[in-house]
């Protein structure tokens, strides 16, 4: 489907970075960057225990506009090679121990410092490139580590999240009887009915606009993907498919069939599987993948998906989303404080309360997020009352 937009900058964003401050201690290793002309965003969370982590987060976030201007893997490798080269430079630099330390202790301190510098310049990354169309938004997403991506509907709440959930386990025997359908695949399906014919089913599955959905039965997959991160469908599954994905068939003989790409927006209407995974921020572990190290081991992802034109996108550090119990709580907080987030003093007070809330749950951390939405939306209602630009909160 061709993607067109009449507005030079079809999206707007609120970018917030709030460093941790506890007494005289400040942690300022998060970086968030929004490049409006290209509709590209990046959020990097420098690793607390990594020397020069803020430098890594700065370098990666500011380089994001070039990441999506070619093969993503190749561009990301260049960034990781730069981080690795900078790390080697830091390791070769002179490490001066305290002069009053005994010679044996000086040598030990130097060795410890070198070992620590071997883990320098580590950062997580969540990067997003958006393209607006007449009927959908194409999202290009790159992820490494615990920073997260969320897509929200103004009416329905969470659409999808990079944090996933607890999907059901599928045995090898069950997989052999099912149709794999994942990123990179297309699915041939039979149209059962328009969503308007089954309003109760649509409501039960959390869909507020049934006229924008089709009910389909899967027939076969088109593609050679191994369906990592996708679905394992049965032929009697009933799929809820957005019409902007399914499109229309120009051939009268094929009116009852559709071929469409994989998207996390496609839902299985089945009592055995929930509409969406249950996500609790409290269940997340402390170990995370980081650049540049885990790029070389393949622990990063690049994916594309399609969303409704009114979708809101949020990139968040773990310090921000850990303030809440789940994505619904995060989304409700953003919506209820939309106006205050555009006022410097009110925003500062809100973030101070979040830092305090985060400290009571575990330990304080940098709080950063980017809230992206199609125009006109966040901030537009305050345009006549304030000229303040969304910016960094301290």
Q: What is the pLDDT of residue 83?
A: 98
Residue 167 lies in a domain: no
Residue 392 lies in a domain: no
Question: What is the spatial distance between Cα 261 and Cα 242, in angstroms, rounded to a whole number?
Answer: 11
Across residues 244-268, what is the average pLDDT? 83
Q: Is residue 343's pLDDT more than 50?
A: yes
Question: What is the spatial distance between Cα 371 and Cα 13, in angstroms, rounded to a whole number?
Answer: 5
Q: Is residue 392's pLDDT more than 70?
A: no
**Same-domain status, 178 and 327:** no
Residue 208 lies in a domain: yes
**Same-domain status, 154 and 193:** no
Question: In the chain, where does DSSP find H-type helix?
Answer: 53-62, 64-67, 72-92, 103-117, 172-176, 199-204, 243-246, 293-296, 318-321, 327-336, 344-361
pLDDT above 90: percentage of residues in the chain: 56
Q: What is the pLDDT of residue 391?
A: 44
**Same-domain status, 193 and 330:** no
Q: Is residue 67's pLDDT more than 60?
A: yes
- CATH code (residue 335): 3.60.40.10
**Same-domain status, 253 and 288:** no
Number of domains in the chain: 2
**Same-domain status, 35 and 129:** yes
Q: What is the pLDDT of residue 155?
A: 83
**Same-domain status, 22 and 116:** yes
Q: Is residue 206's pLDDT more than 50?
A: yes
**Same-domain status, 308 and 213:** no
**Same-domain status, 230 and 311:** no
The pTM (predicted TM-score) of the whole model is: 0.82
Across residues 286-294, what is the average pLDDT? 87
Q: What is the pLDDT of residue 167?
A: 43
- Name which of 88-102, 135-149, 209-223 the model is least confident about: 88-102
Tell which of 204, 233, 268 closes a domain. Answer: 268
Higher pLDDT, 49 or 130: 130
Across residues 55-83, what is the average pLDDT? 96
Q: Is residue 303's pLDDT more than 70?
A: yes
Q: What is the pLDDT of residue 254?
A: 67
Q: Is residue 51's pLDDT more than 70?
A: yes
Across residues 148-157, what is the average pLDDT? 92
Residue 274 lies in a domain: no
Tell which of 246, 268, 290 closes a domain. Answer: 268
Across residues 67-88, what is the average pLDDT? 96
Tell which of 268, 291, 307 closes a domain. Answer: 268
Q: Is residue 272's pLDDT more than 50?
A: no
Residue 391 lies in a domain: no
Q: Is residue 84's pLDDT more than 80?
A: yes
**Counting runs of H as helices and runs of E as strands, what totals does the chain give?**
11, 19
**Same-domain status, 298 and 154:** yes
Residue 338 lies in a domain: yes
DSSP string, 300-351: -EEEEEEE-TT-EEEEE-HHHHTTSSSHHHHHHHHHHTTTGGGSHHHHHHHH
Q: What is the pLDDT of residue 286?
A: 59
Assign residue 351 a region (left: φ > 0; alpha: ψ between -120 and 50; beta: otherwise). Answer: alpha
Across residues 307-319, what is the average pLDDT? 96
CB count within 10 Å of CB 171 equals 8
Residue 30 · residue 57 · CB < 8 Å: yes
**Same-domain status, 288 and 356:** yes
Domain range for 358: 11-159+280-382
Q: What is the pLDDT of residue 148?
A: 97
Q: Is residue 176's pLDDT more than 70?
A: no
Mean pLDDT rounded to a whole number for the chain:
84
Q: Longest C-alpha distance within the chain, in Å? A: 88
Q: Is residue 342's pLDDT more than 70?
A: yes
- Name which of 156-165, 324-333, 344-353 the model is least confident about: 156-165
For residue 276, name the pLDDT band (cuts at 50, 70, 90). low
Higher pLDDT, 107 or 80: 80
Higher pLDDT, 96 or 71: 71
Residue 165 lies in a domain: no
**Same-domain status, 181 and 248:** yes
Question: What is the spatial distance between Cα 44 and Cα 203, in angstroms, rounded to a whole number?
Answer: 38
Q: Is residue 118's pLDDT more than 70?
A: yes
**Same-domain status, 108 and 152:** yes
Q: Is residue 384's pLDDT more than 70?
A: no
Q: What is the pLDDT of residue 364?
A: 61
């Amino acid at each position: 489907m061709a993607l067109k937009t009449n507005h030079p900058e079809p999206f707007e964003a609120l970018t917030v970075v709030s460093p941790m401050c506890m007494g005289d201690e400040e942690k300022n290793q998060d970086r968030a960057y929004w490049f409006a002309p290209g509709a590209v965003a990046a959020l990097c969370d420098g690793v607390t225990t990594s020397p020069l982590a803020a430098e890594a987060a700065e370098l990666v976030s500011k380089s994001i506009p070039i990441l999506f201007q070619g093969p993503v893997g190749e561009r990301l490798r260049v960034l990781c090679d730069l981080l690795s080269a900078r790390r080697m430079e830091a390791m070769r630099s002179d490490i001066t121990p305290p002069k009053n330390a005994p010679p044996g202790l000086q040598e030990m301190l130097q060795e410890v410092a070198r070992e620590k510098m071997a883990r320098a310049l580590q950062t997580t990354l969540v990067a997003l490139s958006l393209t607006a169309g007449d009927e959908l938004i194409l999202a290009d997403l790159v992820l490494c580590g615990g920073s997260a991506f969320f897509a929200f509907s103004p009416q329905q709440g969470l659409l999808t999240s990079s944090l996933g959930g607890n999907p059901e386990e599928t045995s090898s025997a069950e997989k052999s009887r099912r149709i794999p359908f994942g990123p990179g695949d297309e699915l041939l399906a039979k149209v059962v009915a328009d969503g308007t014919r089954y309003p109760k089913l649509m409501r039960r599955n959390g869909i507020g606009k049934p006229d924008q959905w089709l009910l389909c039965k899967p027939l076969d997959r088109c593609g050679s993907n191994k369906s990592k991160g996708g679905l394992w469908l049965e032929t009697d599954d009933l799929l809820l498919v957005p019409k902007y994905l399914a499109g229309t068939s120009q051939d009268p003989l094929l009116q009852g069939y559709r071929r469409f790409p994989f998207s996390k927006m496609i839902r299985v209407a089945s009592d055995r599987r929930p509409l969406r995974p249950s996500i609790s921020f409290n269940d997340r572990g402390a170990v995370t993948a980081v650049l540049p190290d885990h790029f070389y081991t393949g622990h990063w992802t690049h994916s594309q998906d399609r969303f409704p034109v009114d979708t809101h996108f949020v990139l968040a550090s773990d310090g921000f989303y850990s303030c809440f119990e789940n994505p619904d709580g995060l989304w409700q907080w953003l919506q209820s404080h939309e106006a205050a987030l555009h006022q410097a003093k009110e925003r500062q007070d809100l973030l101070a309360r979040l830092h305090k809330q985060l400290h009571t749950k575990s330990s304080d951390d940098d709080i950063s997020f980017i809230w992206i939405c199609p125009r006109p939306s966040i901030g537009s209602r305050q345009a006549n009352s304030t000229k303040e630009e969304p910016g960094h909160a301290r």
